[in-house]
Chains A and B, each alone.
Chain A
Amino acid sequence: MSMINYAAREINCKIVYYGPGLGGKTTNLEHIYGKVKPDTRGKLISLATETERTLFFDFLPVDLGTIRGFNTRFHLYTVPGQVYYNASRKLILKNVDGIVFVADSQVERMEANLESMQNLYDNMAEYGYDLTRMPFVIQYNKRDLPNAAPIPELQAALNPGWEPAEATKARVTPDPYHAGQNLVDQISTGQWVERVPYFEAVAITGEGVFDTLKAVSKLVLKALA
């Protein structure tokens, strides 16, 4: 739920990093925290267990600049990835403006990715939010590992696409982040399919972290415009 504070001239938006346990959600936030200027971010808050597993959430507020005299402040949250913590995970999704799904590229984590994606759809649906019409991007993390699954395989499993929500969107739309690929196109059956933007990342080194953040933040602001 974005909140526009006209008195303080601020636009506040909430972005949630979702995904399976140990997939790199907290690492994304840690990298952002380490890289952005201290005067444009707040504290990184982690409600974690003693073994540094996220228990409730991590939280990092960042300012991404001014637009029309309003400061754009993004509140970044992660959820606990472990299946066990669904009640807390669902709470964090409340009033969300944009979602980043951080998938673990390792072949052996495919099932965990799928389970988490299904859980995201279910939790969003319970709030009455339509994920297919919201700012949503996928990050394929851990691309540096030797057992990382090929991107087409991950795309087929986690980003197979859906029918465009509006008929006007049923036209070939190039993927601005991958030359030669489309976000919306027609498959062999004649059906139109819309996919969400995806990014390859190695969160531990920071590769792809800001591309992901920029893409989702831009989608969130455009949804307000």
Chain B
Amino acid sequence: MTNPGAASWSFDEEDLNALTRAVSRFLSETGAHSALIADRAGQLVATVGRPLSFDPMVFATLTAADFSANDQLARLIGETDFTTLFHQGEKESMYVADVARRLILVTLFDNQTPIGLVRLKMKPVVEELTAHLDRAYSRARESGTTQPNILAGAGEEIDELFNW
């Protein structure tokens, strides 16, 4: 049975490695200490750089909500969306960018890192991530499927999972 709601999507280890490699390079070029990749529904995809001192899943959810709320604000003022958001703190700041309307890249940096540099380097890394995503999608389209359905025929196992 297919879910007639939102489309599901998946990515493999190779896709993930390509994304994290690009983001790692971006971090070292800018001096930003950490980054987090989430999807637009708020599900955490990966964290890169210095380990985070907070729950990244919660952070991903709130970031996606923040982004969605700002999208709506953009529409109210006649824009289609805001592709980036910047939140400035006294010591820590974050720069959030949309990637192909699928993912969100959050960059965390302290006051030693110039915002201008983050902004400057953000554009090429977003383009690179977009190219990776496009390749993953076209590969999936060509092969007709993204991945084998790991839950195919798992009806009984699913029943068993909820047998508590």
Contact = CB atoms under 8 A, between A and B. Distances in A.
Contacts of B120: none
Contacts, number: 138
Contacts of A42: 55, 57-58
Interface stretch (B6-14, B90-98, B110-118, B127-135): B6-14
A43 B40 contact: no
A12 B43 contact: yes
B143 interface: no
A130 B4 CA distance: 6
B77 interface: no
Given A43-B58, A67-B154, A218-B158, A6 B42 contact: no
B43 A75 contact: yes
A55 B161 CA distance: 34
Contacts of A11: 150-151
B72 to A, nearest CB: 6
Interface residues of A, number: 47
A87 to B, nearest CB: 6
B8 A91 contact: no
A221 interface: yes
B159 A218 contact: yes
B53 interface: no
Interface of B: 1-13, 15-17, 39-43, 45, 55, 57-58, 61-62, 65, 68-69, 72, 147, 149-155, 157-159, 161-162, 164
Interface of A: 1-7, 11-12, 14, 42-43, 45, 47, 56-57, 59, 61, 64-65, 67-68, 70, 72, 75, 87-88, 91-92, 94-97, 127, 129-130, 133-135, 214, 217-218, 221-225
